[in-house]
Amino acid sequence: MIDFSKIHKVYFLGIGGIGMSAIARYLNANGVEIYGYDRENSLLTEQMISEGMKIHFEENIEKIPHEIDLVVYTPAIDRSNKEFQFFSNKGLIIKKRSEILSEITNDEFLIAIAGTHGKTSISSIISHIFNTAAIACTSFIGGISKNIDSNLQYSENSKVFIAEADEFDRSFLSLNPNIAVISSIDADHLDIYGNYDNLLKSFTLFADKIKHGGKLIIKSGLNLPTAFTGKKITYSFDSEADYHTSNYNFSGEKSRFDLIKNEKKLDEFMFSIPGIHNIENAIAAIAVALEFGINLASIKSALESYSGVKRRFDYRINTDKLVYIDDYAHHPNELKAIISAVRQLYPKKKICGIFQPHLFSRTKDFLDEFVKSLELLDEIILLEIYPAREKPIDGINSKLIFDRIQTENKKLLKNHELYSELENNKKEVVLSLGAGDIYKITDQIEFILRKQML
């Protein structure tokens, strides 16, 4: 166990990552001096610098301060990184991000949200519900919640901690939640797990780590073999489950639905984030809140005032002439969900999707599935694969997807070619999709599209 009362200086390797930055912000709020390295500057790191953290963007051991008490690193950091090697040889306390999250939360009342999709949306909705109900909580969110313009909801006197339980690198097995949510167990991260059975075993182990007397809130239909003997609650959009919806309808971007619990209607809810998958995320969050004991009035109010998460069904332009939505979708099932939701909202308009594949291994593992999901679009623009932590895999590239797509209106472009395409060809609905660095060009996409509307 780390005695945080003796921790005064912490150094983060990969501080700009969304999970790393939330922990850095938490420790900073608790008076710890924060230093760190990231390979790229961003709006997030700029904000963290303005909050008093010392961050640099080149591998340079001379910029590492003396008397560091703790080093935190992201599993995505390259082991050849000069600073990682420096700390490894110094005999300092070096911990993964997940280990620090465990140290912070495991003696607290913890709500942990796991799943290959939906973690960030569910976590941010739960956090907003607790905040609306005036329950002191600290939330580590895997995206920027628009309601607080941050990935950290911090309260000095937190009664509850809310955290995403990340399956990558088996990180979530460090956590011991009181309430656990499992939203999905689709095949992913097979570069880490090797096969789906190993991924499923990890989710089983996560469920088994729920504290005695705790609760498991799991999407209906997920057949998870687990030794968990506590209360198991199921949820779904519309299938048989303890919590589900009925009388769902939408007007514009707003959705209305009745909440059903154990086949009895509890109330009618309104939610402003489009898409059936997002309604299902909201049902999971409602189930957590009700099982915790929050009253319906607070939950209803929270859902109505919830603004969403940046890069999750994120409207950048929303006019009668043109719609531009940015989304983090990077798995075939996520692409299918958002494209289907947009199709439901705009059935008479042509949808153009700009997709940047994320990881060579994911592209290789789900090639056919990516093709099927992207073919739901009227027009497809593919960018090159974003490698993240990976080295190239021979023969795996965006052209591999491109050549298999049967949709006639398709293009494989570089960024500068994309800008020309948008300038010269009018669009009706545009989606930018992916988990890589596509976020760096969304401002330029928006600028070009707005200019086009004039």
Query: Do 56 and 150 fall into the same domain?
Result: no
Q: In which residue are the tokens 């915790």 written?
A: 292
pTM for this entry: 0.94
Q: Burial, 2: exposed, middle or buried (Cβ in 10 Å; 0-12, 13-18, 19+)?
A: middle
CATH number of the domain where residue 388 is located: 3.90.190.20
Q: Which residues span the domain enclosing 319?
A: 314-453
Is residue 83, in this structure, part of any structural domain at all? yes
pLDDT in tens, the chain (454 residues): 788 888 999 999 999 999 999 999 999 999 999 999 999 899 999 999 999 999 999 999 999 999 999 999 998 888 889 999 999 888 788 999 999 999 999 899 999 999 999 999 999 999 999 999 999 999 999 999 999 999 999 999 999 999 999 998 898 999 999 999 999 998 888 888 899 999 999 999 999 999 999 999 999 999 888 888 899 999 999 888 999 999 998 877 789 999 999 999 999 999 989 889 999 999 999 999 999 999 999 999 999 999 999 999 999 999 999 999 999 999 999 999 999 999 999 999 999 999 999 999 999 999 999 999 999 999 999 999 999 888 899 999 999 999 999 999 999 999 889 999 999 999 999 999 999 999 999 999 999 999 988 7
Query: Do 369 and 436 fall into the same domain?
Result: yes
At residue 4, the pLDDT reads 85
Query: Do 154 and 275 fall into the same domain?
Result: yes
At residue 454, the pLDDT reads 78
Is residue 2, in this structure, part of any structural domain at all? no
Query: Do 271 and 343 fall into the same domain?
Result: no
Query: In 3D, which of 64, 56, 100, 67 has the Cα closest to residue 84?
Result: 64
At residue 245, the pLDDT reads 95
CATH number of the domain where residue 67 is located: 3.40.50.720
Domain count along the chain: 3
At residue 90, the pLDDT reads 83
Query: Do 301 and 320 fall into the same domain?
Result: no
Domain end call among 259, 288, 305: 305
Query: In 3D, which of 327, 314, 323, 351 has the Cα closest to residue 449?
Result: 323
Q: Identify whether the C-beta of residue 155 lies closer than 8 Å to the C-beta of residue 138.
A: yes
Domain end call among 52, 69, 97: 97
Query: Do 244 and 116 fall into the same domain?
Result: yes
Query: Do 237 and 112 fall into the same domain?
Result: yes
CATH number of the domain where residue 257 is located: 3.40.1190.10
At residue 453, the pLDDT reads 82
Buried b (16+ CB within 10 A) or exposed e, 303-335: beebebbbbbbbebbeeeebbbbbbbbbbbbbb
Q: In which residue are the tokens 């298999």 written?
A: 404
Q: Identify whether the C-beta of residue 383 lies closer than 8 Å to the C-beta of residue 355.
A: yes
Looking at residue 392, the DSSP 8-state letter turns out to be P
Domain end call among 55, 78, 97: 97
At residue 452, the pLDDT reads 85
Query: Do 119 and 263 fall into the same domain?
Result: yes
